């Protein structure tokens, strides 16, 4: 079975619909056909200051949401990044193969560091993509299911894999991004030309998966569309309506042409009301399942411990190979 690896940050509270449609949904599908490794990237979370108690709560919350969304410990390895020390051990080697200029060109780093200013930007934020590359390479993953915003980081990972293979001999598959055209970028409801994002969107622009469905309904009903009334998928001309159609289509499995036909002549109000219903139907059981995992932290922790153990056995093997190829002497 080809291997997939992906990760998600433990953000405060809840994942948003972009995380689910852009990434986690694909994780759930791929665990059926691939040898799958999915993790909560708690190490990546501290590139910006985090309160320890909050980080703990957010990490549990993130793991509970992955399981509630259908990530199944019987079908994949689900774990916390910090439980597998090989990620950080490999990341040093990756850093030593990454150009300073190359890392400086990462747009997420440029955007975030510009916002934070030099003195609050950590070196960890700068080396973040190297750790991400190590996350992927330590499992010798073939494919990486993510949203469009991670494409550049994957390009870097591919370059590093090729560089390592070139210098030390064939070791890593060059990993392919697994980014779906339809859902690779879900847009902010209030600003439908920019991605839905925890750090950049206003609360009204984001559908949080753990929001009360009434709150989500309000947000959907006040989503920015356009002055026209025609329901048509045209991302350039009608980004707001197109985003709503994408969400609707993906959550229900209905084709977009079918939706265009269904809402022909009906106006945005009808589309938004029905979409709110569709979202409520998806999030209601999701919220219940998340709560069940949170109410049973022992089970949750056991699942994560088992996942980490399985992940470690694969990661340790890669790390040993890499350390040997690089020229580090064995400990005994």
Residues taking part in catalysis: 112, 195, 198
Residues that bind ligand TYM (CB under 6 A): 5-9, 18-19, 22-23, 41, 44, 132, 135-136, 144, 146-147, 149-150, 184-186, 195-197
CA atoms of 107 and 153, how far apart (whole Å) = 9
135 versus 274: smaller Cβ distance to ligand TYM: 135
> For ligand TYM, which residue has the nearest CB?
22
Tell whether residue 10 is among the known ligand binding residues.
yes
What's the sign of the alpha-carbon dihedral 279, 280, 282, 286?
positive
- Taking the complex as a whole, how short is the minimal distance between the CB of residue 115 and ligand TYM, in angstroms? 15
Tell whether residue 148 is among the known ligand binding residues.
yes
Any idea what DSSP says for residue 186?
P
- Taking the complex as a whole, how short is the minimal distance between the CB of residue 169 and ligand TYM, in angstroms? 24
Which of 59-92 are b and which e, b meaning 16 or more Cβ less than 10 Å from the residue's Cβ? Answer: bbbbbbbbbbbebbbeebbbbbbbbbebbebbbe
- Taking the complex as a whole, how short is the minimal distance between the CB of residue 190 and ligand TYM, in angstroms? 13
147 versus 173: smaller Cβ distance to ligand TYM: 147
Tell whether residue 135 is among the known ligand binding residues.
yes
Length in residues, the chain:
332
147 versus 263: smaller Cβ distance to ligand TYM: 147
Neighbouring residues of 116: CB distance < 8 A, sequence distance ≥ 6: 48, 125
Give the pairing of strands 3-8 and 35-40.
parallel
Tell whether residue 218 is among the known ligand binding residues.
no
CA atoms of 87 and 136, how far apart (whole Å) = 9
202 versus 273: smaller Cβ distance to ligand TYM: 202
Annotated binding site for ATP: 9-11, 18-19, 147-149, 186, 195-199
């Amino acid at each position: 079975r080809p291997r997939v690896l992906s990760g998600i940050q433990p953000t405060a509270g809840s994942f948003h619909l972009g995380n689910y449609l852009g990434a986690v949904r694909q994780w759930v599908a791929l665990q059926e056909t691939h040898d799958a490794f999915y993790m909560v990237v708690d190490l990546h979370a501290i590139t910006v200051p985090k309160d320890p108690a909050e980080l703990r709560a957010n990490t549990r919350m993130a793991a509970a949401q992955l399981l509630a969304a259908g990530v199944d410990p019987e079908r994949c390895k689900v774990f916390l990044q910090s439980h597998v020390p090989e990620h950080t051990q490999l990341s040093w080697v990756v850093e030593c193969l990454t150009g300073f200029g190359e890392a400086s060109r990462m747009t997420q780093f440029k955007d975030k560091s510009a916002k934070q200013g030099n003195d609050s930007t950590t070196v960890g934020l700068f080396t973040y993509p190297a750790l991400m590359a190590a996350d992927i390479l330590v499992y010798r993953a073939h494919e990486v299911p993510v949203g469009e915003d991670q494409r550049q980081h994957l390009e870097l990972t591919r370059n590093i894999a090729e560089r390592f293979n070139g210098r030390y001999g064939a070791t890593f598959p060059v990993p392919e991004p697994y980014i779906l055209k339809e859902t690779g970028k879900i847009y902010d409801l209030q600003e439908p030309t920019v991605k839905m994002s925890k750090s950049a969107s206003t609360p009204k622009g984001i559908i949080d998966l753990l929001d009360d469905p009434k709150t989500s309904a309000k947000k959907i009903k006040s989503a920015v569309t356009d002055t026209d009334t025609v329901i048509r998928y045209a991302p350039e001309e009608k980004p707001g309506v197109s985003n709503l159609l994408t969400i609707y289509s993906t959550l229900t499995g209905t084709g977009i042409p079918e939706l265009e036909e269904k809402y022909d002549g009906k106006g945005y109000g009808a589309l938004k009301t029905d979409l709110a219903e569709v979202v409520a139907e998806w999030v209601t059981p999701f919220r219940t399942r998340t709560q069940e995992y949170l109410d049973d932290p022992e089970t949750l922790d056991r699942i994560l411990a088992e996942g980490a153990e399985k992940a470690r056995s694969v990661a340790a093997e890669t790390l040993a190979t890499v350390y040997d190829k690089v020229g580090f002497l064995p400990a005994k």
